[in-house]
A and B are shown apart, each in its own frame.
Chain A
Amino acid sequence: MITPTQRFYTAAPRPPRKVAKGIDRGADWVSGAFRRRSSTLRRLLREAEASLQWLEQKIAPLSEDAFQEKLDDLHRRFRRGETSSLLTREAFAAVSRVAQESMGLTPYREQIAGAMAIHESLFAEMATGEGKTLTIGLAATLSGWTGNPCHVITANDYLAQRDAETLSEYFAQCGIRAGFVTGSMKPPERISQHQSAVVYTTSQEILADFLRDKLKLGSEQTPQGRLIQHLSSGGKSSGEALVMRGIHTVIIDEADNILIDEAVTPLIISQTMPGNSFAQCCSIARDLGAALETGIDYTIDYKHSEITLTHQGIAAIGRHSHRFPAIWRSYDRRNELVRQSLVAEHFFIKDKHYVITDESKVEIVDEFTGRILPGRTWKQGLHQTIETKENIPVTDPTETLASMSFQRFFRMFHSIAGVSGTASESSAELWRMYRLAVVCIPTHRPVLRKIEKVKVYPNEAAKYEAVVGEIDAMHQTGRPVLVGTRTVEASEALSRQLTELQLPHTVLNAVRHKEEAAIVSEAGKRGSICIATNMAGRGTDIKLSEEVLSLGGLHVIVVEHNLSPRIDRQLIGRSARQGEPGSARYYIAPDDELLIRFLRPRERKQLQQRIASKLPGSTGLALNACRKAQKTAEKMGEKQREAVLKMDTWMEEHLAFTRASAR
């Protein structure tokens, strides 16, 4: 039973801390660099070592009963809010023994150091395959013991469930319950799962639950008001129907993806508004748009994905407007509708930005990850416009009830910690936005990955031909190959080519995300070929047999560079895990999207000529160009995230009278 005061504390999100501006930003950077200094890591490793010794000397000899008593004692001390380095050391030693007994896994030094980093609200960069699940589990136990809600954020529903289930025995032995929340769950089940000490879930689910709870709270937004209401109404409160216990501690797996790449995509709670004649509007807009001419009636800015109507265009739309319903009388509205239809026509490409599911629905594809974002829709008629474009039934537009960016949401936790294989590239931003200092935990065994020489081709066709050749060659040797593509479209195209050559392969992309985990676990078999959009099957190990290891392990082909070097690193990180052998190779062509979007046309042309001339040094030039383009892309992303932050801060300050900004 949660007491009202407990509810008051646990359910009260922390107001997001101000992000340093101006000169303070420099000072803030320095303090971040100080927090990330190398002695932090050395201390963590020392502490982990000490903890392992403690396990060996003090904990291991304990009898079953004495150990249980020890656990209960630790549990109590954490609930009381005790903190000391000795307590932490002892606690980690104890939970390590539980891990040993429940799962047969003895955490090694690096895992404990990682768990300690999480416990200290740091960002632990741990390479793929280093046993992050256990690491997070160890740290989550300590948070769970405190009685504050502790959420572990995983990359997808599958992983949330898998991790919670794998560790459930372990958590039970530690005296706490681990729950998980997935998208398909209904509210009653969610409520019961959220009562667990540690809740495994995805970022979408937790934020959705949080926002829905907020909507339920209505005008009792502030914790103070809620407490007064609760006490004065004899324990009755709208809070009773709340799904969550509130937010306090969060441990995020693949945190760079959630805190950086997906940070600005807002989660939106919406309801459909039926009976709207929007479908008709969209088809009129499409017809009008089709009648307009590029360059005369409107201009296209590809770099910024923008369409601007010219005076002729506006006049042309005006000439027809009288034939249509009332909404077309409004000058702004009709131009906006046509413009949107043109945007949908020119910038939204099927299988790249969205896919059409078997049920004839438009589903958005995350451009960064290549994954489908189920249930998400574009706003203000764009979704309907695209449905019109694809000639599928137009859905009712939705009305937003609440929305929040992940960036803002994760800034509201009292304590936040992250784990990921790749983070150091963004350490400055992670510190500035979330006060997360990145600590690079070393791998348990040395990395044996061989990165082969980059291959550069003058155009995409030549590149694909070479990729297919390499896949074929690898296949002959029997080594499994993982091919990373950026888009669903590319993976399908590559698949067609392989089918032509009768090479057996599996495709892992956003369209077939349900089979992800199964395919990934098969991807390590001898001679298997797996084509995947860049982050498909994240969080699942590609297990290799002895035979495959002797052949040289998994080979990863990066067909084109991603917008962020972190994602490239993630992809090649799938090979050569845990000291196994493995190799990876990058391919570059000047018409890679990264280079088209973020390199100046002149530079790209030079690169093209250089590659075509086959002069030596073109590889280096191409690599440099990629790095430069990635830097530009990162900068643009960062600017976008700053803009969202600015907007959020503005809203918080200026719309403080609304419940959306109330805490």
Chain B
Amino acid sequence: MAERQQMFSDSWHRVAPERVRLNPTVEVVRQMFRGQLWYLLRDPLNNEFFRISPAAYAFVGRLKGDLTVDEVWKECLALMPDDAPGQDEVIQVLSQLHRSNLLQSNLAPDSRQLFERERKIKGRKARGQAVNFLFLNIPLFDPDRLLTLLRPIFRPILSPVGFILWLGLVATAIWFSIGHLDELADQSSGVLAPKNLFYLYLCTVFIKLIHEFGHGIMCKHFGGEVRKTGVMLMLLTPLPYVDATSSWGFRHRWQRIAVSSAGMGAEFLVASIALFVWIQTPDPFVKRLTYNVIFIASVSTVLFNANPLLRFDGYYIFSDLFDLPNLYQRSTRQLKHLSEKLLFGVKKSFSPASDRNEAFWLTTYGIAAFIYRVLLLAFITYNVAQGFLGLGVAIAAFCVFLYFLMPIGKLVKYLFTSDRLERHRTRAFAVTGLIILLLVGGIGFVPLPRSFRASGVFKPSIESVVYSKSAGVVDEIFVETTTPVKAGDPILRLSNPELDLDIKSATSRLEQIATQIEEARQNQFVSIIGPLVEQAKAGRLVLEELNRQKMDLLVRAGIDGIWTSPRSRELRGTWAPRGTELGRIVDFSEMVFVSAVPQKQAGSLFDETIQSSEVRLLQSPAIALAVTNQTIVPGGQQKLPTAALGWLAGGEIKTKQGDSSGLTAVEEFYLVRSETAPFPSEVSPPGALTGQIRFTLPPEPLKSQWSRTIRQLFQQNEDS
């Protein structure tokens, strides 16, 4: 599919009489890509690489400085009439070699040109760094001698036996970690807690140091050179790095893959050791440190390093594994080619891919990497902006410049001036205009659904607390907890021997009074009959009261519902003073979802009409419960409906640090009570009925949605 070159070139006379050759220091390596042979030229002085085709190498390799370029070319032509490179191709290759300082000429070099070139290369590097400002490199020193010294130590480790041992260790660690999965998951919420951040960073530096030296040692092991190590400002965080790019010159791709994955391999090793320590140690500080190490070496490594969409280790492993050299650059070129060919109708556009399969990979990768990059940057910018507005705005401005204005500038320049579009400019303008129109129209005018979420918990709308109406020892519980009861059903019985005694004594007292009244009647002590009768009356009242109390010892359900008493087992045999909460009868047929809407979303809550909303439970996220009726509790709240929503219990809402109940939120929030459709049968209350509610707002074009988000971001920062 490659572009066909003309055999003869107008500019041939420029190079024809020169006697040039490759610099004697240049190293040549054969590499296979997709079953095709390539020659890789490497300049050991600056670690620059240059890949040329066998046909071009057949020519370049013949340059010895004794024959002129023209003579060598004619020799090639005589030897391989079909495969010899055309004159244009020769000029291209020679110019590129010259630009990479790989070419030696019999003419004195033009020093002005050399300086000019150096200035250009420096400028390009600086621009490259500026563009990649989130991943800035600052080289510090040359670790080659150190690694050479270490090489014998690591030689036995970097062997098949070593690999099997490593595999065993990591496998064991994974096995153990599965056993401790709950514990591991529990501690995860603490990783990003403010007081842990410093330790987290320390551990990251430690792990990345090992990671990078993993690359370096592996590279050294296969005979490469490692000449640079330094500090990389990744997302403005200083981290160590080691330059192992000389491994690109390795002949076998498995060696290259080994170097690329050595970093992660080393990390996994450290993580495994840390895991064993973490399981064993009782010391909370050591536990925290080791946990950090495990967390970084597993989660962050998998998310970042192993991800081929970012240009870290995963990218190089991926590109070697699937034989896609220069994946990033070529996928960009492939996308450009596709748009030229399909959108602009340029017939003379050629794909950088050598076959259909590769074309597919390049296209897919190009699109995926682009989307991923934009999303990642948006995510980073948004999060930074929430913390530091100024910095966020700066990064956002830079991103807008880099990913929006600069490409637009380039596009405009390309559309107006590219020679490739010479005959297709009208169409190119039309298509680009149409795409821009569609984009602007789409963003500015096509309403898109939008919604926001809040976490909350289901609470029964009717709930009766069952108290002990009279004091007593819990004697017998008739109803198991979480069993439905009807109003009037006995639930439990208390026994109170004292009460029985009181009743007995009250009865006896009444009997005594009755006897005294009888006596007085017979003795005609009219004067004392009156008070005695009064006493008897009072005594009866006491007895009545006592009897009522006795009746109350048998606790009955006040309403229909489900008896829940989480402590019912402990209750049995214990003394329950009057007014003790014994349990609750909850009417689960009428539940209400109480959600806490944070302040930043309150605006949408109050100013806009909520079209519909639905609730999903954490325990059954597949089922959406439609909301039938909704009320917003006016006025901000600070007390959470349940601790499950707060930070302390792993929820989303920040709670005050001093509050051990975990119920007091840092920021005010608004409560929304939503009545939902009944639960499906498989959801069994009363479990943990926490979930999320999604409020669907009227659809709005993306433009308004984005501007609202940005406005909120600013407001929020003003408030805080």
Point out residues on A near B: beta carbons under 8 Å: 15, 219, 221-222, 225, 301, 304, 326, 329-330, 332-333, 336, 379-380, 399-403, 643, 651, 653-663
Give the complex CA separation of A336 and B5 in angstroms: 11
Residue with the greatest number of chain B CB neighbours at <10 A, chosen from A333, A379, A651, A658: A658
Supplied contacts A330-B82, A402-B13, 9 more A-B pairs, CB within 8 Å: A225-B108, A332-B7, A332-B86, A333-B7, A655-B11, A657-B105, A657-B107, A659-B107, A660-B13
Contact between A658 and B107, CB atoms less than 8 A apart:
yes
How far is the CB of A55 from the nearest CB of chain B, in Å?
Answer: 45
Contact between B10 and A403, CB atoms less than 8 A apart:
yes
Query: Of all chain A residues, which has the CB nearest B15?
Result: A658
Given A222-B108, A655-B94, A657-B107, also A329-B81 (CB < 8 A): yes
Chain A residues closer than 8 Å to B13, beta-carbon distance: 399-403, 660
Check: B195 CB closer than 8 A to any chain A CB. Answer: no
Report B19-50 CB contacts with A as 1/0, cut-off 8 Å. Answer: 01000000000000000000000000000000
Given A403-B10, A655-B15, also A304-B423 (CB < 8 A): yes
Given A15-B112, A304-B423, also A659-B10 (CB < 8 A): no
Chain A residues closer than 8 Å to B14, beta-carbon distance: 651, 655, 658, 660-661
Chain B residues closer than 8 Å to A15, beta-carbon distance: 112
Given A326-B81, A653-B113, also A400-B95 (CB < 8 A): no
Give the complex CA separation of A221 and B12 in angstroms: 19
Nearest 7 A/B pairs, CB to CB: A654-B95, A657-B105, A660-B14, A400-B13, A656-B113, A658-B14, A657-B98
Query: Of all chain B residues, which has the CB nearest A659?
Result: B107
Contact between A655 and B423, CB atoms less than 8 A apart:
no
16 contacts between A and B (CB under 8 A): A219-B107, A222-B108, A222-B110, A301-B423, A332-B7, A336-B6, A336-B7, A380-B10, A401-B13, A654-B95, A654-B98, A656-B113, A657-B20, A657-B98, A657-B107, A659-B107
Report B300-329 CB contacts with A as 1/0, cut-off 8 Å. Answer: 000000000000000000000000000000
Query: Of all chain A residues, which has the CB nearest B5?
Result: A332
Chain B residues closer than 8 Å to A333, beta-carbon distance: 7
Check: B419 CB closer than 8 A to any chain A CB. Answer: yes
Query: Of all chain A residues, which has the CB nearest B19?
Result: A219
How far is the CB of A95 from the nearest CB of chain B, in Å?
Answer: 38
Give the complex CA separation of A653 and B98 in angstroms: 10
How far is the CB of B426 from the nearest CB of chain A, in Å?
Answer: 11
Contact between B17 and A657, CB atoms less than 8 A apart:
no
Report B163-200 CB contacts with A as 1/0, cut-off 8 Å. Answer: 00000000000000000000000000000000000000
Check: B660 CB closer than 8 A to any chain A CB. Answer: no
Contact between A662 and B7, CB atoms less than 8 A apart:
no
Residue with the greatest number of chain B CB neighbours at <10 A, chosen from A221, A222, A379, A402: A222
Check: B530 CB closer than 8 A to any chain A CB. Answer: no
Give the complex CA separation of A658 and B7 in angstroms: 21
Residues of B71-117 contacting chain A, CB below 8 A: 81-82, 86, 91, 94-96, 98-99, 103, 105-110, 112-113, 116-117
Chain B residues closer than 8 Å to A662, beta-carbon distance: 107, 110
Contact between B82 and A656, CB atoms less than 8 A apart:
no
Query: Of all chain B residues, which has the CB nearest A219?
Result: B107
Give the complex CA separation of A221 and B112 in angstroms: 14
Query: Of all chain B residues, which has the CB nearest A225?
Result: B108
Chain B residues closer than 8 Å to A401, beta-carbon distance: 13
Chain A residues closer than 8 Å to B422, beta-carbon distance: 304
How far is the CB of A625 from the nearest CB of chain B, in Å?
Answer: 20
Query: Of all chain A residues, which has the CB nearest B347?
Result: A308
Give the complex CA separation of A401 and B70 in angstroms: 12
Chain B residues closer than 8 Å to A380, beta-carbon distance: 8, 10
Give the complex CA separation of A662 and B111 in angstroms: 11
Chain B residues closer than 8 Å to A221, beta-carbon distance: 107
Among B4, B106, B109, B419, contact of A656 (Cβ-Cβ < 8 Å): B109
Give the complex CA separation of A537 and B116 in angstroms: 46
Report B36-66 CB contacts with A as 1/0, cut-off 8 Å. Answer: 0000000000000000000000000000000
Chain B residues closer than 8 Å to A656, beta-carbon distance: 98, 109-110, 113
Chain A residues closer than 8 Å to B7, beta-carbon distance: 330, 332-333, 336
Give the complex CA separation of A330 and B575 in angstroms: 106
Point out residues on B near A: beta carbons under 8 Å: 4-8, 10-15, 17-18, 20, 81-82, 86, 91, 94-96, 98-99, 103, 105-110, 112-113, 116-117, 419, 422-423
Contact between A332 and B6, CB atoms less than 8 A apart:
yes
Query: Of all chain A residues, which has the CB nearest B81?
Result: A330
Among B82, B91, B117, contact of A655 (Cβ-Cβ < 8 Å): B91
Give the complex CA separation of A643 and B419 in angstroms: 9
Give the complex CA separation of A661 and B113 in angstroms: 10
Contact between B81 and A657, CB atoms less than 8 A apart:
no
Give the complex CA separation of A192 and B609 in angstroms: 97
Among A219, A336, A400, contact of B106 (Cβ-Cβ < 8 Å): A219
How far is the CB of B654 from the nearest CB of chain A, in Å?
Answer: 49
How far is the CB of A231 from the nearest CB of chain B, in Å?
Answer: 16
Among A301, A400, A655, A661, contact of B10 (Cβ-Cβ < 8 Å): A400
Given A655-B91, A657-B18, A657-B20, also A400-B12 (CB < 8 A): yes
Give the complex CA separation of A658 and B13 in angstroms: 10
Give the complex CA separation of A330 and B5 in angstroms: 12
Query: Of all chain B residues, which has the CB nearest A381?
Result: B8
Give the complex CA separation of A326 and B117 in angstroms: 43
Give the complex CA separation of A329 and B10 in angstroms: 23
Chain A residues closer than 8 Å to B20, beta-carbon distance: 657
Give the complex CA separation of A57 and B156 in angstroms: 102
How far is the CB of B619 from the nearest CB of chain A, in Å?
Answer: 61
Give the complex CA separation of A163 and B313 in angstroms: 74
Contact between B99 and A654, CB atoms less than 8 A apart:
yes
How far is the CB of A609 from the nearest CB of chain B, in Å?
Answer: 24
Given A402-B13, A655-B15, A655-B91, also A332-B4 (CB < 8 A): yes
Give the complex CA separation of A380 and B14 in angstroms: 16
Give the complex CA separation of A379 and B11 in angstroms: 11
Chain B residues closer than 8 Å to A326, beta-carbon distance: 81
How far is the CB of A321 from the nearest CB of chain B, in Å?
Answer: 13
Chain A residues closer than 8 Å to B94, beta-carbon distance: 655, 657
Give the complex CA separation of A651 and B9 in angstroms: 13
Contact between A657 and B109, CB atoms less than 8 A apart:
yes
How far is the CB of B460 from the nearest CB of chain A, in Å?
Answer: 70
Query: Of all chain B residues, which has the CB nearest A646?
Result: B419
Query: Of all chain A residues, which has the CB nearest B18?
Result: A658
Give the complex CA separation of A584 and B240 in angstroms: 80
How far is the CB of B682 from the nearest CB of chain A, in Å?
Answer: 65
Give the complex CA separation of A453 and B7 in angstroms: 54
Give the complex CA separation of A653 and B14 in angstroms: 13
How far is the CB of A45 from the nearest CB of chain B, in Å?
Answer: 41
Chain A residues closer than 8 Å to B105, beta-carbon distance: 657-658
Give the complex CA separation of A304 and B424 in angstroms: 12
Chain B residues closer than 8 Å to A399, beta-carbon distance: 13
Give the complex CA separation of A490 and B512 in angstroms: 154
Query: Of all chain B residues, which has the CB nearest A228?
Result: B108
Chain B residues closer than 8 Å to A663, beta-carbon distance: 110
Contact between A379 and B18, CB atoms less than 8 A apart:
no
Chain A residues closer than 8 Å to B106, beta-carbon distance: 219
How far is the CB of A515 from the nearest CB of chain B, in Å?
Answer: 35
Give the complex CA separation of A349 and B2 in angstroms: 35
Chain B residues closer than 8 Å to A655, beta-carbon distance: 11, 14-15, 91, 94-95, 98
Query: Of all chain B residues, which has the CB nearest A403?
Result: B13
Query: Of all chain B residues, which has the CB nearest A270?
Result: B13
How far is the CB of A323 from the nearest CB of chain B, in Å?
Answer: 18
Give the complex CA separation of A326 and B81 in angstroms: 10
Give the complex CA separation of A653 and B6 in angstroms: 22
Give the complex CA separation of A221 and B109 in angstroms: 10
Give the complex CA separation of A56 and B660 in angstroms: 109
Give the complex CA separation of A575 and B182 in angstroms: 102
How far is the CB of B648 from the nearest CB of chain A, in Å?
Answer: 57
